């Protein structure tokens, strides 16, 4: 095992690039946990395979699979998706994976965060804790080890020095109870190379991550963000999104710009049915969703790939307007909708199950 670098990315001139900057590849993991995924994870595997196939049209996909599941995964994965053996507990590489960084010379490094399964929701997470280190080794990227419990889904950057986060999540006592808000912010600046951190108060209603920003709000370009929204003032999401919008209206980014906010109306509200919940196998130490629980459904949980946008769809009347809005927000990119409900049942969506590796110096990838 190679020791982590003794410095921080900010010391060394590294920063987290925006998701729209060119990728070398997308990393994913293969879902198997029966205490998270219904029906022994079969329907989730079909959904992940569809997402991997959609991404593979735009850029290489490397998918980590538990060694005992490799043969089965390969029969379900579309051609063009590389499956490799990897140890992990659950399949949310946005969160247990590394955050990749680049410098102005296009060198690649990454942050290996501490991980505790969203405040201890799903034991065991000991193998997940090592995914960040292992993926960086496989990518050949030197590693910074951050002394901070953090998940990639809790972070969105504009690549120009601004970071969006949610207080409800980052200040939740199950993550870093020994650190103040200022201390958490200082570590984020140091490990992501950002100058301005915009703290939104709450995440999406029903989100078991305590409010990851990647369900609530994302940059679509510097100076412009998309925010999940509902016009229904009786829906608990209304107050949450309205509070975020009010805060964003006052905010300035790292370059001193005001932010334009674009609302994307949420689907639903959606809930897990009794039939769906009945086929999740309870296990000691796991707290999966129960029948009737609200699901954190949001079109904000889309993922940008080279030349494309992979967006979750929910078989909902709002799907069409969300697709049209995303096409408008990302001109020049092809928007591809994929079925999102099965992944949502596990607690997240397309953005949560993917992790971009930026294109480093001298790397060429066909867009």
Q: Which residues contribute to the site for ligand KQY (CB under 6 A)?
A: 36, 92, 94-95, 118, 153, 208-209, 212, 214-215, 346-348, 352
∠ CA 16-264-200, rounded to 5°: 50
What is the maximum alpha-carbon separation in the chain? 53
Nearer of residues 94 and 109 to ligand KQY, judged by Cβ = 94
73 or 352: CB nearest ligand KQY: 352
Q: Which is nearer to ligand KQY, 5 or 283 (CB)?
A: 283
Instruction: Report the alpha-carbon angle 125-130-131, nearest 5.
Output: 95
CA distances 108 to 71, 142, 143, 364, Å, are: 31, 7, 10, 14
Q: How many CA atoms within 13 Å lie on the side-chain side of 167?
A: 12
Token pair, residue 137, equals: 């080794």
Instruction: Return the residue nearest ligand KQY (CB atom).
Output: 153
Say which of 169, 217, 218, 352 is annotated catalytic: 352
**217 carries an active-site annotation:** no
Least separation in angstroms between CB 128 and ligand KQY = 11
Peptide bond into 124 cis (omega under 30): yes
CB 280 within 8 A of CB 288: yes
Indicate the residue among 340 and 346 with the shorter CB distance to ligand KQY. Answer: 346
Nearer CB in complex with ligand KQY: 91/309: 91
CB of 206 to ligand KQY, least distance (A): 12
User: Rounded to the nearest whole angstrom, what is the least distance from the CB of residue 37 to ligand KQY in the complex?
Assistant: 9
For the CB of residue 151, give the shortest distance to ligand KQY in the complex, in Å.
6
Q: Are 336 and 309 in contact (CB under 8 A)?
A: yes
Smallest distance from ligand KQY to CB 209, Å: 5
Inter-CA distances, 322 with 33, 58, 116, 184, 220, Å = 31, 21, 33, 34, 14
Hey, how many other C-beta atoms are within 10 angstroms of the C-beta on 6?
Answer: 8
Q: Which residues are catalytic?
A: 352
């Amino acid at each position: 095992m190679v020791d982590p670098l003794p410095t921080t990315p900010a010391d060394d001139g590294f920063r987290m690039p925006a998701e729209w900057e060119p990728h070398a590849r997308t990393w994913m993991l293969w879902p198997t946990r029966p205490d998270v995924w219904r029906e022994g994870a079969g329907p989730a595997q079909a959904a992940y395979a569809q997402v991997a196939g959609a991404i593979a049209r735009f850029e290489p996909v490397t998918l980590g699979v538990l060694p005992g599941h490799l043969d089965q995964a390969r029969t379900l994965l579309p051609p063009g998706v590389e499956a490799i053996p990897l140890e992990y507990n659950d399949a949310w590489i946005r969160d247990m994976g590394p955050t990749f960084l680049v410098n102005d010379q296009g060198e690649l490094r990454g942050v290996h965060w501490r991980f505790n399964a969203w405040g201890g929701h799903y034991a065991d997470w000991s193998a997940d804790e090592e995914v960040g280190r292992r993926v960086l080794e496989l990518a050949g990227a030197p590693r910074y080890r951050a002394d901070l419990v953090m998940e990639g889904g809790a972070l969105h950057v504009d690549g120009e020095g601004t970071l969006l986060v949610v207080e409800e999540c980052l200040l939740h006592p199950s993550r870093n109870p020994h650190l103040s808000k200022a201390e958490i912010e200082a570590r984020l600046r140091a490990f992501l190379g950002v100058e301005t951190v915009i703290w939104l108060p709450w995440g999406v209603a029903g989100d078991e991550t305590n409010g990851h920003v990647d369900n609530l709000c994302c940059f679509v370009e510097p100076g412009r963000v998309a925010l999940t929204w509902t016009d229904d003032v009786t829906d608990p999401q209304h107050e949450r999104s309205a509070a975020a919008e009010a805060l964003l209206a006052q905010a300035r980014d790292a370059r001193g710009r005001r932010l334009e906010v674009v609302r994307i109306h949420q689907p639903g509200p959606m809930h897990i049915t009794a039939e769906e919940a009945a086929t999740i196998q309870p296990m000691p130490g796991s707290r999966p969703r129960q029948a009737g629980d609200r699901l954190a459904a949001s079109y904000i949980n889309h993922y940008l790939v080279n030349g494309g946008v992979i967006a979750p769809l929910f078989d909902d009347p709002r799907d069409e307007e969300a697709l049209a809005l995303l096409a408008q927000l990302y001109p020049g990119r092809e928007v591809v909708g994929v079925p999102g409900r099965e992944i949502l049942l596990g607690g997240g969506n397309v953005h949560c199950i993917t992790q971009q590796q930026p294109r480093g110096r001298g790397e060429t990838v066909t867009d």
